[in-house]
Structure 1
Amino acid sequence: MSARQDYFEQLYQDRADPWQVRSSWYEQRKRAVLLAALRQESYRSAFEPGCGTGELTAALAPRCASVLACDIAPRAVALASARTAAWPHVQVQALSLPAQWPASTRDAYDLIVVSELAYYLEAADLARFVRLCVASLAPAGELVVCHWRHDFHDRLHSTDTIHAAYDGQPTLARLGRHEDPDFLLQAWRRGPACPAKEAA
């Protein structure tokens, strides 16, 4: 295991739900806001990197014809697989992103959801991760990104820095933004390059 994989694997070995994703009101409220931000009733295909225990994956499953979810920690993958076992169109894989990005995914996904993940990536990996998210979106596909705003010991980037990296992508047009003291959620659609961004 890499040091990062070993770190997250140990968290899940110590506690089955280390961030209380199923039970905490913060997580429940954030998940409800995120689901409400999705503009389509249903999607052909969705990708959820950093799925953790699969609570959000389970909420996405009824609205998507296919879902690929992944996590770096094998224990999290096992938990998410069990959580989503009722939906045969959901796949959960152990992947270390961005290095192990799913193969043949250019233009593949109508929806990509990145929640509470990107601040753990080193700077070069974050830049690559953002580019791969955009490249993997189908034309007019939606990208939803949501992150905790408060500081914590293993954060490598601020939430504002992460979201600015997505805002800087010339083929993403912002659809919406929800900001409160605890989290920032933004949504974009992939389309032609925006003239204002091209000129910047």
Structure 2
Amino acid sequence: MSTAAYFDALYQQPDPFHYRSRWYEARKRALTLACLPRRRYACGWELGCSNGVLTAALAARCDALLGTDISADALADAAVSTRAWPQVRLERATHPQDWPSGRFDLIVVSEVGYYLPSSALQQMARQLRHSLTDDGLLLACHWRPPFDAARSTTEDVHGALSEHLVEVFTYQDADLLLQGWSARATSVAAWEGLR
């Protein structure tokens, strides 16, 4: 089954990952938002925006935000989730084939990378580095246990994304791996003149 067909089938049910009802998902969103080193971002991009629950939370921190997903049904749900945020633009896209123009100071890769085979994952990682501004943040959060639909491991995804970037933070537990990278080291305390 192709990746597009997999997600088309999955999104025939409402909120298939239970983003709105599971504490695991609410906690993961809170961790993601807490790890963002800046209060605001000029231009963000969320790959794999799904039904837009995280997208709406990110919109509160971004002047402009692009959300992309492979599933039209997911994007229809995302439009409802983000209707209060006029700075959000949603597009159907298959990555790494479909790629937006411009550069972003925040790129969030949520549960996307492990659906790609190794060659596509490497290509996507290279393209993401080129789409990231010099002072931008690339954040990735992935489920750690293996599952049948995965084509790459979480470690493979995060390893590919980390090449040629400086690690800003890492959080992991038995369930998830959350990491952020930038082209150069960052410090919230330094930005605020505390050191």
Task: Assess same fold via TM > 0.5.
Answer: yes
Seq. identity, %: 42
1:98-129 alpha-carbon deviations (Å, 9 max, x no partner): 10111x22xx1010001111000111110111
Residue 7 of structure 1 and its aligned partner are, at CA, apart by 1.6
CA deviations 1:159-200 (Å, max 9, x no partner) are 111111122x22x111010010000111111249xxxxxxxx
Unaligned runs of 5+ in 1: 193-200
Q: Tell me what 2:180 maps to.
A: 187
Residue 148 of structure 2 corresponds to which residue in structure 1? 153
TM-score in terms of structure 2 length: 0.92
Q: CA deviation at 1:3?
A: 2.6
Q: Is the counterpart of residue 114 in structure 1 residue 109 in structure 2?
A: yes
Aligned residue in 2 for 1:92: 90
**Structure 2 equivalent of residue 12 of structure 1:** 11
How far did residue 143 of structure 1 move? Answer: 0.7
Q: Give 2:169's match in structure 1, choosing from 176, 180, 184.
A: 176
Q: SS at the partner of 2:169?
A: strand
Give the letter for the 1:12 counterpart.
Y
Equivalent residue number for residue 58 of structure 1: 56
Give distance in 2, aligned partners of 1:110 and 1:151.
31
Give, in whole Å, the separation in 2 of the partners of 1:148 and 1:8.
Answer: 17
Query: Hey, what's the Cα distance between the residues in 2 that align with 1:164 and 1:99?
Result: 21
Task: Point out 4+ residue stretches in structure 1 off by more than 2 angstroms.
Answer: none
Q: Partner of 1:40 in structure 2?
A: 38
Separation (CA, whole Å) in 1 of partners of 2:120 and 2:105: 23
Counterpart CA distance in 1 for 2:149 and 2:141 is 17
Query: Secondary structure of the residue that 2:134 maps to in structure 1?
Result: strand
Cα distance per residue 1:47-74 (max 9 Å; x no partner): 0010000010000011100000010010
Q: Secondary structure at the match of 1:152?
A: coil
Structure 2 unpaired stretches of 5+: 186-195
